[in-house]
Chains A and B, each alone.
Chain A
Amino acid sequence: MNLWQEYKRPTSVAEAVQDLASAAGPALPIAGGTDLMLDLRQGNHPPVHTLIDLTFIPEMSALELRGDELYVGAAVPVNQVALDPMVGTHAQALTEAANLIAGPQVRNTATLGGNVAHALPAADGTIALTALDAVAEVASALSGVEQSRSAGVETRRMPFTSLFLGPGKSAIDKTREIIVGFYLPTAGPHQASCFKRIMRPQGVALPILNCAVWLERDGDLVKDIHIAVGPGGSTPFRATEAESFLRGQPFHDETFARALDCLLDQAKFRTSARRASADYRRHIVGGLLRDVFDTAWKRAE
């Protein structure tokens, strides 16, 4: 059974959203396709008529500084993200996450856009972007004129966490919308980030727990902090209670313990069959968070 009937290679975002709107049958954008191809082949995705390849669009493959933001196109291969020195400077958590996604061959095609569009609550790239407070740029065809070839494109910026509705449920309507790229704040002095994860060697290669921390340090005080933990809920989880507690606090064992209590109260750890129980996740999250926090803290010196 053919996985698709028609394959489009648009070279601009406008063309891509138009192709999406005007396809002769069910259409989907494809970036890396490392997950989509499997879902289609294994029947986990309804059959698709048209695939719209996003990797020929320069805007979506760009990785550059834009003003005081770092822009990462949604179709940039994960490996390029992992190797990029600007990402290393401004978003080290993302570098670390990108280096851990799948294996090298898959990283050469897989993209951050795909990682995010899958809307998994513990995808490595997603958790890093959550802590880094990314903003997504989303494009769609101008409403009401989908059939017109000359119709324009509408883009909007969405806070990162608003992209997720539930496990595997994205706020992006893949039949008419495309994530174009991500904007990350550039790192100022005493700002740093870190990402780490815990795996188990059996079964699907998804982390049983991952964690990213971005923080700004003022001497021994935590000036600002973002903590993301996956899976800590049905969507990528920000430990906002722990963050509020820590903001302005000196960092030591006692404040960390209080912050961890806040996190454990707020997070909704669940049991995933054959991977990890909620108890286990609650037991190990402190060690992981401390490890990630310590690393980011040192980096922000």
Chain B
Amino acid sequence: MVQTCSKCSRANPAEAVYCYFDGFVLGGPSRPGGPVAVGAQVFAHPFVFPGGRQCRSFDELAIACQEEWAAARDLLRQGYLENFFGGLGRVDLALAAKEAAKFPDADLGLHQLLEKLPSQVLAEPRLALETQEINLGVLEVGDRRQFYLHMENQGMRLISGTVTSVDAPWLTLGDAAANQKHFHFLYELDLPIHVRSDKLHASSKPLEGHLEIESNGGSFIVTVRAQVPVKPFPSGVLAGAKSPRQIAEKAKAHSKEAAALFESGAVAEWYKANGWTYPVQGPAASGLGAVQQFFEALGLTAPPKVEISTNRIDLCGAPGERLHYTVVVKSEEKRPVYAHAVSNQPWLEVSPAKLAGRLATIPLTVPSVPNHEGATLTAKLIVQANGNQRFLVPVTLQIGGSLVFGETAPAAASVTAAGETPTLSEGALLSAPIVAPSVIAARTSGSSRRRRAIKPPLPWIHLVPAVLLVMAVLTAVVIDRFLPLPSGGTSKDEEGPNTAYDWTYIVKDPEPLLSVKFDPERERFGVEMTQEKDPDNPDRFKRLTYDNRGQSNNTVVKIDGYEYKFGEKTPSNVWGGGRGDRGKHVAITRGGRRAWESTMEFRAQKIDVVQHVEIIPGQTGYLDTLLVYYRLRNKDVHKHKVGIRVMIDTFIGANDGVPFTIPGKKEFVDTKAEFSGRDIPDYIEAIENPNDPKNPGTVARLCLRHFTLPGIELEDMDKLRICRFPDPNAGWEDWPMESMKPDDKDEAKDKGDSCVVMYWPYKDLLPGETRHVAFTYGLGSLEVGGTLALSVPSAVQPNREFVVTAYVWDANKGDKVTLTVPAGLQLANGESTAKIIEEDSPRTQVFWRLRSGRSGEYMLEAATDKDKAKPKKVIVKPTSIFG
């Protein structure tokens, strides 16, 4: 059965009496008896120290080593003890001695070996201190003081352990001024303790620190106390202040005077004299800013939020070159900004910040770009500003052949509070950039090398006004696009299908008796008869206008006081109607019609004027009448004053100065006349040979009023002029109205020259409103019976007054002309059927005012004592001129 040593707990054979390892008596049950004193057993031969001391047992050897420590330490190192133990057959002790000899500290090696000797004569080491409380008395910041901690070994062998300054940074141990010190000694030790002057700080309470001692001889805690009284502020308005709070209170009360003390550094010195850390880091601001700086550093005032000009700096330079850069710290608040920066790399030098109100400029310099061609060096620049706000700015220096100072877009740099670890992030941690220097380059060497500047991209913030402008314009356009136009006047109509396209009528003969030719540029129109030749030129047809293309006619549109000739293009007056230039001449031929439309846009005022010219059936049912119809539309959102007048240079056959007959007037108009309002007749007629009743020739009739067009309400004209044809460029009415008769005294007027000018009101045209005006010009019929002929309107509206005219040739004073009025028509109030010729005349006319009744066709007859006129039919109908 295996026996276990009660001392070393190692296993030994069952028959063993002593422990193989330590020689201890194995107390097995078969071995009753007391312990064997191994240490006292005599060696076979003694161990002799160099000094002659003989050791015959382990006990003697242990005592000798304790007493002759230095000699024993040397013998151990030199291997004598190892050999001796080997000679004794104690290989275990020989190995222990060998191991101990190799121990770095020889004293500790010997101490370990003595522990393993099978001897009980050496007592355990025991540490004793002279005192466990040390009072250093009164100290001043800056004092250097040293004292000793006395330790004794009241046991045997070596004491080893550590002393630690636990909570007293102002105490250092040993000559190395560490806060922990290892020690070992045999009998006693005086450990030097130093008071660190720079770690002392004044306080109203005593300083207290502790030294913790742990050793193989026991553990102790030593308390060290000292008094460091506060030095009051020495001078000025802050004199007597004993704490930062008192300084702040006094500074608040006397800010201007105190500012000088802060600015001069007196407060910082006072802090230093008391061993305190001055809260303001970096250079002091000037003036009251210094007080603010102090308050912000103490946390008594919230610091302004500051921004830095860049979040990273990328430099590039050639070896040996000197580079400059400037970092700007700024605040939007109207408070002083102060900042300072430090670099963690020697190649990047930071100069003191230049403080100027809300700006702090920190110059950076690379005195000489290191000679590492192709390398990229990195550094960190820590910028600290108001209230210890910190910015970490990474700096790279690319060493290359070309010199470029560039800066990335200042978008994001981190801001951290004091004490926090600065970090960089991609987000918008920093508010808007302060400055966006595109390129900052400085070359002091005057080198002529090419310099390349990398321009930063346009920061997005600059795009904001452009985007806003686009949005504003688009919003306005969209609103305009979908907001309805303001409502127009009472006659406002919507732009719908052109009703003129849908007109239909019945004709007796599809071959027209008239033809229309247009001036190709201006869309003026001239009228010719298709069945009769020009008396002066048989190759041509008989004209009803002076020019067969109507070039002497003109139409004037007056808009807002300005007169424009229809058909004369200008940059703002163009052919249009949604067709561009194709709107100039649109033919309507459906159903055999002969109609042409021309649309002109007056774009400045957004007025459209449509001229509709069409050959329509007249009084006879043949295509012998020209309808001229204008449509005026206001497409603007504003009202405009618009009027239109049409001038027709009348001409029949070879007669340019044809006189006109006016219903209701006794005389022919062969000089000039002007009618307005209600005086304007329903129609006027021009007779080619007015003095020849047997051959009156062509009769041209202008219908001016009281006719209608399908689906259209025509507006009455308000003025009519019959006179000499004025200048072709005549405007609205600023031209002289002269007699159409020839004037022998004036060569320019040696021939008769007539014209008819029709005016429709010049008045407001409301937004979206359309006006319609029209007249007809065509062939009339004059059927003369002897010396008498009747003239009636083409058609008459029911229940309306109209005029019947009788032309009388070779009239004698007193002759009576009698009108036979059929049933369905009646004389107007005050009229009589018989009219008396008032004076002799080769040609005169009498008229009757009649009133129509119901719809129908009525034959009128007239007679004198000598002749009887051919009956004339009057058509009374409520419909338009087309039927």
**Is B one of A's binding partners?**
no
B residues touching A (Cβ–Cβ < 8 Å)?
Answer: none
